[in-house]
Structure 1
Amino acid sequence: MSTHSLQQSAETEPATGRPATVPTQAGPAGDAPTGHMVVFGDDALAHRLAVELATLYGQRVTVVLPSLRRGHGPHIAALAADEGVSVTAVEAEQPDEATLRAVGVGEAAALALTSDDDQANIQAGLRARRINPGLRLVLRVYNRRLGGRIEQLLDRAAATHHPGLSPAALQASTTVLSASATAAPALVAAAVAGRGHVVHVDGRLLRLSVVSPAAPARGQEVATLAVTPGGAHPEPEGALLPDPESVAQESERVVLELLGRTQPPARTRRLPGLSALPFSTLFSPRLRWALTGLAALVIVFAALTWALTGQSPTRAAWLTTLDVLGIADPADEAGPGRKVLQILTSVSGMLLMPLLIALALEALGAFRTVSALRRPPRGLSGHIVLVGLGRVGSRVLERLWELEVPVVCVEAEPTALGIARARSYGVPVVLGDATQEGVLEAAKVHRASALMTLTSDDGTNLEAALYGRECNPELRVVLRLFDDDFAGDIYQALRDSYPRAATRSRSVSFLAAPSFASAMMGRQVIGALAVGRQVVLVAAVQVSGNPYLSGRTVAEAQRPGHWRVLAVDLVDPPERTPDLANPYLATPELLWTPVETRMLVDGDLVVVAATREGLGLLLRPDTTTP
C-alpha cells in the first residue's frame, strides 16, 4: 500500500493578501476513497485500530501521523507496506482543517482521533464535524466528564445538520472513549484473585468466572467461553466459544454468568487523606500505651481517694482531677494517707504535659505525612503493588480503590498523573524507579498478593516483574506489554520458570481497540473480556441484512469458535435504548438464552459473545453469503 506525506506550501488569499497554508500531496496523486476510515495518531492504539479495521472488518484505512520514523511510526509503515491489507500512511504534523480535507475526511465514513492530548482531539473533532456533518467520530478523551459534554455537543451538531437521524444513528455519530478506562477492568480482574471481570448489559451484570465440574455456576450460565485443563493456575486451551456438545462434562470451564441488578457499594467519603488515617496511624504504639497507663493510674488514684475520704465517687474523681492538673486544693485537714495520695497524684500529673505535647507533635507529623504521601504500613500483606501511575495506572488505581482492595503504588515521577489521586485516596506511594534495588522491597512486594507493572515502557515493566518474582516466586504478575510476539515469549518463559505462580500479559491497546473499531463501524461493543491471552467481545449486532443472522433460528445463527447469541432485544426498534451498557437502565429489554428454535428476523437486535475474528466476520460490510 502507499505511504505519502502532506507538505506545506504558502499561497496568498486574494481577499486578504495574507499567506495561507494549504496542504499538498507529495506522493502519488489520487482522491481519498469514498467511505474509508481515517485514523489520526502514532501510538499503539492507532496501530492496533488500523490492524483491526483492515484485517477484521476489511476497511480501507488512512493513518495520519507526524512521522513514520518515531514512536509507532515504523509499525504503521510496515502495515502500510503489507499488500494484503488496504492501509495508507500519511505524514502530517497536526490535524488542522487543511490536513483533514486533504486526507478525505469530507468523504470518509468515520474518523478516529487517538492522540493522548485531549484538547487536540476535541479541536480536531469539532473541525471534522464542520467539514463532514454525517461523519462518525470516535475521540479518545481521558477526562470522562469533559468527554461526555463534548459527545453531547457533537451529537447536537450532527442532529442539527441531519434532523432525520434515528436515535440509534445519532448515538453512533459521536463516541468518546478512554483507552485506559476501557482496559482497566480487565487488568484489575487479572490481578485480583477471586474477582471475575464484570460488564454491564441491559442493567444487569455479566461475569466471567471459572466453574469446576462438580460446582454449578452461581448465576445464570449463558455461554461457555473456553475450557481449562486444570492445575494450580489453569489457562484456557483450544478455541474460544467451543460447541457446547463438544465440552466434556468433567472439564473445568470459563463461563459467562448472568447476575442480578446490583448497585455499587455505598462508600463513606471522608475528607481527602482522612479515609485511610485511623487512630493507630495517628499515634504510635508507645504513645498509646503511655496514655492508657496514665488514664489507668488516674482511675486507681480516684478509687483510693474515694476509699480514704468516704466521699461520693463523683467528688473523689473531681478531687483527683484537680490534683492531676495541679490546681491548688491542699488536703490540710485530711489524714496522712490522703496527703500522701495527693502528692503521688500531683507527681503523676507532671507526666501529663509532656505526653500531651508528644501527642500533638506526633499527630501533626502524621497529618503532614498524609497531606504529602503515605508510606506503606509496617505489617501490610496481601496487597497489590501497582507500578506506574500514568493514565492506565491511575484508572486501575481508581478501580482497585472502588473495590476496596489494598494497594501500594510505585512511581518514579513525583508529578505523575496518578500521584494526586493516590494522595486523595490515602493510598501508600513509594517514589522511585521500580527497577532499582530496594524500591519494590519498600512496597512490601515480598508480602504482596500481586504485582501490576503498567508503565509505558516494556523494558521497565518486564524488569520490575522479574525482580518481583525473585522476591516472591509465587507472586501473581500482570504485565503491560505492547509487542504480541514478545509478550507471548515472556509469558511462556515466566509460566515455565514459575509454574506455581499466575502470570498475565495484557496490552492496553489490544483491549481497547475493539471498542474503538466497533464505534467507527457504527456498532456497539459492550465489553471486552480477557480469557487467558485472548479476548472475547460482548457486542450488540443488528440482524437486518446480516446473512449470518437474518432468517435463521438461534441454533442456526450460532458459529462455534466465532460467536454465540446470548440475548435478543424485545423492544421495537424506535423505542430501544441506544446504550445497552448503561448500568442503570430502569426497564430490562433483553431476552437472555433464547430458545434455539426462535427465528431471528429483520429489525431484531441480538447480543453476542464473539472472538475478534468472529465479530469482524459478522460485521463485514462486504459479506454476501455465509
Structure 2
Amino acid sequence: MIVCGDDALAHRLAGELHDVYGERITLLVPARSESPQQLTGRPGRAASLFGRVTAAVTRTPAAGGQADHLGRPEGRSIRVVETTEVDDTVLIDAGVERAAALALVHDDDETNIRGALAARRLNPRLRLVIRLYNRKLGQHLETLLDQAAAVAEPGLDPKELDAATTVLSDAYTAAPALAATAVAGTSKVVQAGGLLLHAVERTPPARGEVADPGLCTLALLSATTNDPAGVEGSERSGPQGPLLLPDDRAVAAAPGRGTVALEAITYAGPTLSAKRFGASVLPVGSLFSRRLRWSLAGVTAAVGAIALATWLTTGHHPLHAAYLTLLDLFAIGDPAVDETTGRQVLQILAGFVGLLLMPVLIAGILEALGTFRTATSLRRPPRGLSGHVVLLGLGKVGTRVLARLRRLDIPVVCVESDPEARGIALARRLRVPTVIGDVTDEGVLEAARIHRADALLALTSIDITNLEAALSARSVKPDLRVALRLYDDDFATAVYRTLRAAHPEALTRSRSVSHLAAPAFAGAMMGRQILGAIPVERRVLLFAAVEAAGNPLLEGRTVAEAFRPGAWRIIARATGSAPLGRHAAGLVWQLEPDRVLGAGDRVLVATTRRGLAELLGRHPRPPRQDRPDTARHGMDRP
C-alpha cells in the first residue's frame, strides 16, 4: 500500500493500514530539512503514528528521495520516502507497478489529481483512493480513471473496476458526526447511496424498566460517565470503557450503562433547497423598517381621506376626485382660485401632505438600497438570538458542518478570523450570522451571543485555539455543550477529563476529523465500499457492504452464527441488484437468526476496524473457539 501526503489524515491512514490490516506501507511525504529520525521522533502528528511501532529505523537509498524502514517482527513495515513531488520516478521507486492500492491524501486537490493520472498510467489495475474536497469534480474523475483502466486492461473484472477508483472527502465523511455532536437529541447519522441510518445514545433505564433495543444495540457506553478519572472520551477500551457490538449477555450484565442503539431507518425526503433555509430571494417586507412602513401607511391614509373629502364636497366622480387629489399632492394641479372654500382648503392640505411624503419616499429609497447592499454582506448576530450553535472555523470541515446544520434548520452563528475563508461565501449565501475576528480576542465570543447559545463547535485546525475557545465559552456559560476538534488522543482524553471534572453537568466531546475519516479511506484501499462511520465516544463503528460469496465467515452460516460480538454484526440484507453504497437498494432489516447466508447474498454489517480487517481480509480466518473472553466482553481485539 502506498500513501501520499503529510498531514493528520496521511498519518492516521498509514497507521490504520499498518496496525489494523497488517499491510506493508510506503509513505511518501514532502521533503523536510530535518532527518527522517527527527521526523519519527518529533512530537506531534508523525510521532503519534510512529510512536506505536516498536522497531529500529534503518536507512536505505531511494530514487527521488530518502527512505527509512520502520519494521515489526512479523515483517510488516512502514517505509518513509521523502520527495519534492509525486512524479513517475518517485511512484516507480515506491513500487506502484506492484502495489495493491495508492492513496493520494494531500491537502491540495491538484496535486492529488496529478498523482492519480500518473499512477493510473503506470498501473491500470491499481486501486486508487483520492482525497478531493470538490465532490462534483470527484465524480467526474472517478468515471475518467475507471474508463482509463478499462481501456488499458480490456479483461479487467467488472468487480475490480467498480473498486478501481474511489474519491472521498475527509470533511464530508466527518461532517455528520460533528453536526450531530453539537445538538442534544440529534441522532448520529450515516447517509450514503440513499441509505439513512440513525444511531442514538440512550440513558440507562430506570429500575424495573426494560430498555428498547431498537433494531439492535450497537454499543455500551462507558461505565464512568460521572467519574473524572474515567476513560470516556478516549479511544481506549476496557471493562469500564465503551463496548462495541455487545451480545445480549453483555447488555444484560450492564444494566446501569447507556447504550447506542440503531433506532430506525426512514426516508428523510429531499434536502431543503437554499431558498428554504437561506435568503437567496430577499423578502419584500425586509426592504423597509417598521417605522417607515407606519409612516407610509399614515401618508396613504391622509391622501385617501383628502380624496374622499374632495369627492363629497365637489360632487365629481370618485376617480376624478382621486386624480385631483394626486395632482394637488405633487403640486402639479391648477390653483383652486375660483373654486369653493372647501376645495381650496383641501388643496392646501394635499400640498402639505405632499411635503410630508417627500422625506418618506427618500427614506424608503435609502433603506431599500441599504438592504440590497447588506444582502451581499455578512449578517451580524441578532440581539434576541438564543438557542443557537456557535461554529468556530469556516475551513473545509466547518463549511461542510455549516451546510449540514442548516439543512437541519438549526440556527448557527459562525466565527472566523479570515474574511477570505472557504466557508465565508456559503455563510453569505445562506444569510448565516457571522463574526469576523480572532476567537482569542476579547469580545468575539460575546458578539456571537455565546451566553445564549446551546452549543459550541470548535473546528479550527489548531488544537490550542479550540481549547482556548472552549475554556472562554465555559467561563461565560458553564453548562454550555462543547465539541472540540482535537487530533492527539492523549491530549483529547486529558482535556475531556478536566472539563468534565470542572463542569460535570455540561456535555463535552472531542472529535478528530482524521480519526473519523481514516477508516473509510483504509476500507476503500482494501477494495470494499464503506458506507459511513459512527463515533462511539472516541472510538468508531463502521458500516460496510459485504458480499457473502467466497467468505467463510459468512457464506453457509446463519445470521446468528455469523455474528461476532465485539467485531461485527449483520444489520441488513440487500434485496436489489445494485451495489450498496453506489445506488439506493432495498434492504431487509428484520432478519431471522436462523436464516442461512448464501453465495448471492449481500449484507450490510456494523463492524469495528479490526473486525473489518478480519472479515474483509484477503485471506479471511474462521472464528477461533478458544477466545471466550472476546464473546463474553465484546472487546475489540487484534
- Normalising by the smaller structure, the TM-score range is 0.7 to 0.9
Distance 1:281 1:449, change over 3 A: farther
Q: Deviations over 1:319-368 (max 9, x none)?
A: 44333333325444655445334323321221211121122122222222
Give the superposition deviation at 1:280: 5.6
Distance 1:282 1:497 in 2: 48
DSSP-derived class of the 1:350 partner: helix
The answer to whether 1:174 aligns with 2:178 is no
Distance 1:205 1:74, change over 3 A: closer
Counterpart of 1:32?
none
Counterpart of 1:353?
358
| Structure 2: tracts of 5 or more residues without a match | 56-70, 234-240, 624-638
Counterpart of 1:226?
219
Is the CA contact 1:273–1:370 (under 8 Å) kept in the aligned structure 2? no
Distance 2:258 2:307 in 1: 68
Give the superposition deviation at 1:210: 3.9
Q: Deviations over 1:359-387 (max 9, x none)?
A: 21222222222223222223222222211
AA of the residue aligned to 2:581: A
Counterpart of 2:245?
241
Give the superposition deviation at 1:258: 3.6
Give the superposition deviation at 1:215: 9.9
Distance 2:225 2:615 in 1: 36
The answer to whether 1:43 aligns with 2:7 is yes
Correspondence for 1:88 among 55, 60, 79? 79
Distance 1:414 1:201 in 2: 33
Distance 2:156 2:187 in 1: 38
Give the superposition deviation at 1:599: 1.3
Is the CA contact 1:276–1:425 (under 8 Å) kept in the aligned structure 2? no
Is the CA contact 2:214–2:262 (under 8 Å) kept in the aligned structure 1? yes
Give the superposition deviation at 1:393: 1.1
DSSP-derived class of the 1:190 partner: helix
Distance 1:614 1:313, change over 3 A: farther
Distance 1:266 1:453 in 2: 25
Is the CA contact 2:324–2:333 (under 8 Å) kept in the aligned structure 1? no
Is the CA contact 1:80–1:87 (under 8 Å) kept in the aligned structure 2? no
* Greater Cα shift, 390-399 or 41-50: 390-399
The answer to whether 1:543 aligns with 2:548 is yes
Distance 1:140 1:497, change over 3 A: same
Give the superposition deviation at 1:412: 0.9
Distance 1:401 1:147, change over 3 A: same
Is the CA contact 1:547–1:623 (under 8 Å) kept in the aligned structure 2? yes
Distance 1:474 1:302 in 2: 62
Counterpart of 1:343?
348
Correspondence for 2:612 among 609, 612, 615? 615
Distance 1:276 1:532, change over 3 A: farther
The answer to whether 1:106 aligns with 2:97 is yes
Q: Alignment length, in residue pairs?
A: 579
Counterpart of 1:207?
198
Q: Deviations over 1:284-332 (max 9, x none)?
A: 3432332233334334444544555566654554444333333325444
Give the superposition deviation at 1:145: 1.2
Distance 2:25 2:506 in 1: 41
Counterpart of 2:597?
600
Distance 2:621 2:431 in 1: 57
| 1:49-88 superposed matches below 5 A | 49-66=13-30, 67=32, 68=36, 69=39, 72-78=45-51, 82=55, 84=72, 86-88=77-79
| 1:332-481 superposed matches below 5 A | 332=337, 335-481=340-486
AA of the residue aligned to 1:47: H
Distance 1:228 1:290 in 2: 61
Give the superposition deviation at 1:616: 2.5
Distance 1:477 1:321, change over 3 A: farther
Distance 1:309 1:246 in 2: 95
Give the superposition deviation at 1:420: 1.8
Counterpart of 1:9?
none
The answer to whether 1:577 aligns with 2:578 is yes
Q: Deviations over 1:163-186 (max 9, x none)?
A: 333433211111011111111111
Counterpart of 1:323?
328
DSSP-derived class of the 1:505 partner: strand
Is the CA contact 1:56–1:617 (under 8 Å) kept in the aligned structure 2? no
Identity level (%):
53
Distance 2:509 2:303 in 1: 59
Distance 1:75 1:130 in 2: 34
Distance 1:561 1:188 in 2: 27
DSSP-derived class of the 1:351 partner: helix
Distance 1:303 1:251 in 2: 77
DSSP-derived class of the 1:130 partner: helix
Distance 1:292 1:474 in 2: 47
* Greater Cα shift, 92-101 or 254-263: 254-263
Distance 1:393 1:44, change over 3 A: same
TM-score (norm 1): 0.85
| 1:156-175 superposed matches below 5 A | 156-175=147-166
Distance 1:282 1:489, change over 3 A: farther
Is the CA contact 1:42–1:72 (under 8 Å) kept in the aligned structure 2? no
Is the CA contact 1:524–1:540 (under 8 Å) kept in the aligned structure 2? yes
Distance 2:303 2:478 in 1: 53
Counterpart of 1:3?
none
Distance 2:587 2:371 in 1: 53
Correspondence for 2:622 among 604, 622, 625? 625
DSSP-derived class of the 2:506 partner: coil
DSSP-derived class of the 1:422 partner: helix
Correspondence for 1:529 among 525, 534, 545? 534
Q: Deviations over 1:551-580 (max 9, x none)?
A: 321111112222211112345xxxx323x2
Distance 2:534 2:244 in 1: 12
Distance 2:503 2:285 in 1: 38
Give the superposition deviation at 1:135: 0.7
Give the superposition deviation at 1:273: 8.0
Is the CA contact 1:202–1:589 (under 8 Å) kept in the aligned structure 2? no
Distance 2:325 2:453 in 1: 50
* Greater Cα shift, 64-73 or 543-552: 64-73
AA of the residue aligned to 2:399: S
Is the CA contact 2:199–2:261 (under 8 Å) kept in the aligned structure 1? yes
TM-score (norm 2): 0.83
DSSP-derived class of the 2:243 partner: coil
Across the aligned residues of Structure 1 and Structure 2, the Cα RMSD in angstroms comes to: 3.0
AA of the residue aligned to 1:247: V
Correspondence for 2:563 among 548, 558, 561? 558
AA of the residue aligned to 1:455: T
Is the CA contact 2:548–2:601 (under 8 Å) kept in the aligned structure 1? yes
Give the superposition deviation at 1:492: 2.1
